[in-house]
Structure 1
Amino acid sequence: MNTKPYRHLELAKRVERSHTTGVRFLHSLRSVGMTFIIFISLFFSQTVFVHAQSSITAIPPRLILSTDPGKTLTAELKVRNDSDVSQIYTVTVDDFIVIDSIGTPIPVSSSVNSRWSLKNWITAPKTIPVDAKGTQIVRITVRVPVSALAGGHYAMITYMPNGDIKPGELKKTASLIGQRVGSLIYVTVSGDITENASIIKFTTPKFLEQGPVEFTGTIENISDIHINPKGSITISNPLNSKVAELPLEAGNIFPETIRDFSSTWNNKWGWGRYKADLNLAYGTTGALLSATIFFWLFPIRLVIYSLIAIISVLLVVVLLGKRSKKHQEVLEKEVAELKRELETLEEKK
């Protein structure tokens, strides 16, 4: 009995089933893909909406006050609602700490070193309403204790939208996932204030073939108050002549913290050993921070390639000269032989 037709029929059925399964899989994959795209679109549209509904601006970003022990100060801050709906902001007063080397303030609710604390001296409203696209004044009172230590004291006043929403309604209000912004408050209490700082790092690459030249460093503040060192980096060439002066402002450095700084000399080519002098003034008395480093700016590869090219050209010239001289000698020898032959022929005649 011939079984080949049955085998062919069975094979055709298997192919058809495989094709059907593949088509179903592709349709399922397309459905999953469309669902994923719709989900991502909704997620990002919701994220943009949340951001738009939570836009806040604190004015000013920093408030600096000075006073004496036992005095009371009043000050005004402002907060602007940049969203399209009215908001009620929760106002929070916290101390803050700086734990990185770029001066980022982080609010802390727990107790911090009372030497720098300011939170308990400030009285501010708990909540404030702000109209859409409107600005609201925030009045604060700072009561300085008679026993307050001289120097800097620091706090942060922050604003969070929807201050009237109850905890049970948190999940119902997407706009609560908003930004928290605020103003830094610096209060300097008069008295015997120590101002001291040091440069713990000032560096640049020791050797560069070409610019720009990047300078980086770190300053440590061991004062009783924040400082803001300002000055410049002066660059001198191998002949000790000034070739550039780079303005530099390190930014506010809080007590018992460090802060990094950087500057760039946008010069491409140099020829030799250069000197960089860092000079920064800080504090009420204009104390000076200084440091000096040396670095090489020399296009060594360019010089090597140029020397190789010059040597190659000279070798070619020398070789061509030798070849030309040898060729000249050969020609002169041939001419001499021809002369001798001519003389021989003439003698035979």
Structure 2
Amino acid sequence: MKINKYHPSGPGLWPYGDHKCHSELDSESRMPGCRIGSGMTILCFSFEFLIFLFVILANAGIHPVLAASTITAIPPRLVLSGKPGETITAQLKVRNDSETSQNYTVAVEDFIVYDTQGTPVPVKSAVSNRWSLSSWIQAPDLIPVDAQTTQTVNLKIKVPTTALSGGHYAMLTYMPNADIKPGELKKTAALIGQRVGTLIYFTVAGPVTEKLTLTRFAIPKFSEKGPVSIEGTVESLSDVHVTPKGSIVISDPFNLKVAELPLEVGNVFPETSRDFVATWNQKWGWGKYRADLNLTSAVKNTKKNLRKKSKNSKKNSNKSKVNNCLDNSHN
């Protein structure tokens, strides 16, 4: 199933420029037709614009936390799931590419996302928020790693019996301190060095709500030559991180499809927004072109697998109703 979103039109035209839209997402205020069953949400959006050219995609994503030169955290991202009361074991690895042995101090901290690029920021002080994970994780304080070798790091995650279902997030980081011996760690008042590590996404099984809204979809009013930047922002009020995928379909003045740009928004964390950018790049074109945005995101039973599908929509281009509400509840 899908929801097609179309702008109002006069004689086949939509006013050019930035269009911002937002819908309340609670159950009382959802617009008709916004609810989709089977654990799937689909977002479709349309925009018409005047150009003289054609398009290509540039996708912004989350970059893994890697070493500057001599340390590598493996993997950069770890996705786990479990039930309240369970103890989950996992393994990470850290690689020492330097020519000398190193002792790496280990820190486990919650992280949050401040910006619309999905950049994780560690929370150093103790937090008792909905998404906290660090207090559940047991990890070594210090790890010795020989030169040019990889060391395994064993983790235990004890899920409280009162844990709320949905996403919980932390980062485990390493910092090189070659002069520190294992028995001297607690005597050190301050440790200085560069940290690298792994982001841990943990999903607690149970009922999960997925709510997404397209809050921005912007295209330049007029372009004489390429490239044309197509930008947007997706806001999440979900209980778990979601990863919308889809495409932007470009139609020419005769309503014929001339390009389709695959689009991956990246992870959108709970109570955050995420920007996306696509670039259409061709030297020549003429007249008014249309861009249809189709995003799909779905959660299958709150486990670590997130199922997504892409749908394209070019039909009913004269409809004036705009729906930008995505709201699914999963048990």
In the alignment, is residue 195 of structure 1 matched against residue 210 of structure 2? yes
Aligned to 2:107: 92
Among 116, 122, 132, the alignment partner of 1:117 is 132
Residue from 257, 274, 297 that aligns with 2:289: 274
User: Which position in structure 1 is the counterpart of 2:168?
Assistant: 153
Q: 1:289 to 1:154 in 2, by over 3 A?
A: farther
Q: 2:246 touches 2:311 (CA, 8 Å); kept in 1?
A: no
Residue 110 to residue 161, structure 1, CA distance change in 2 (3 Å):
same
Look up the SS of the partner of 2:293 in the other structure: strand
Aligned AA (1:68):
K
Q: Report Cα offsets for 1:169-206 as digits up to 9, x if no partner.
A: 899xxxx7542100001110111100111111111101
Match of 2:324 in 1: none
Distance 2:158 2:225 in 1: 57
**Amino acid of the residue matched to residue 293 of structure 2?**
L
2: CA distance, partners of 1:97 / 1:53: 22
> Contact 1:199–1:289 (CA<8 Å) still a contact in 2?
no
Structure 2 distance, partners of 1:154, 1:279, is 28
Separation in structure 2 between the aligned mates of residue 215 and residue 224 of structure 1, nearest angstrom: 28
TM-score, L = length of structure 2: 0.67
Which position in structure 2 is the counterpart of 1:233?
248
- 2:258 & 2:234 partners in 1: Cα distance? 25
Any conservation in 2 of the 1:53–1:85 contact (CA below 8 Å)?
no
Task: Please give the residue correspondences for 1:260-339 in structure 2 after superposition, counting only pairs within 5 Å.
Answer: 260-284=275-299, 286=308
In 2, Cα distance between the equivalents of 1:113 and 1:99? Answer: 18
Change over 3 Å in CA distance of 1:118–1:163 after alignment to 2? farther
Aligned position for 1:135: 150
Compared CA separation, residues 287 and 146, structure 1 to 2 (3 A): farther
Q: Secondary structure at the match of 1:258?
A: strand
Q: Which amino acid aligns with 1:275?
A: R
After superposition, the C-alpha distances for 1:18-74 in whole angstroms (9 at most, x for unaligned) are xxxxxxxxxxxxxxxxxxxxxxxxxxxxxxxxxx99721100000001111111100
1:180-219, aligned counterparts within 5 Å? 180-219=195-234
CA contact (8 A) 2:84 2:162 kept: yes
Which 5+ residue runs of structure 2 have no aligned equivalent? 1-66, 301-307, 318-331
- Distance of aligned partners of 1:60 and 1:260 in 2 relative to their CA distance in 1, 3 Å threshold: same
Give SS of 2:210's match.
coil
The answer to whether the 8 Å contact 1:236/1:276 transfers is: yes
> Whose strand proportion is higher, 1 or 2?
2
Give the CA deviation at 1:290. 9.7
| RMSD, aligned α-carbons | 2.7
Q: Which amino acid aligns with 2:289?
A: Y
Which amino acid is 2:170 matched to? A
Post-superposition offset of 1:82: 1.3
For 1:239 and 1:196, how far apart are their aligned partners in 2? 35
Greater shift in the superposed pair: 280-289 or 189-198: 280-289
Amino acid at match of 2:91: E
Q: Distance in 1 between matches of 2:124 and 2:132?
A: 11
Listed as ranges, the matches of 1:16-27 within 5 Å are: none
Alignment of 1:21-170 (within 5 A): 55-162=70-177, 165=180
Q: Is the 1:54–1:179 Cα contact (8 Å) retained in structure 2? A: no
SS at 1:232 equivalent: strand
TM-score of the superposed pair, with normalisation by structure 1: 0.63
Q: Which has the larger radius of gyration?
A: 1
Partner of 1:8: none
Partner SS, residue 269 of structure 1: coil
Q: Distance in 1 between matches of 2:220 and 2:312?
A: 19
Q: 1:284 to 1:130 in 2, by over 3 A?
A: same
Take 1:287 and 1:149, find their aligned partners in 2: how far apart are those partners?
Answer: 28
Report the alpha carbon displacement of residue 108 of structure 1 after superposing the two structures with TM: 1.4
Are the structure 2 counterparts of residues 291 and 101 from structure 1 closer, same or farther at C-alpha, using a change threshold of 3 Å? farther
**Whole-Å Cα distance in 1 between the matches of residues 312 and 236 of structure 2?**
14
* AA in 2 matched with 1:153: H
Give 1:75 deviation, angstroms.
Answer: 0.2
8 A contact 1:91–1:125 mirrored in 2: yes
**Would you tell me which structure has more helix in proportion to its own residues?**
1
Say if 1:53 and 1:258 are closer, same or farther in 2 by CA, change over 3 A. Answer: closer
CA distance in 2, matches of 1:259, 1:291: 23
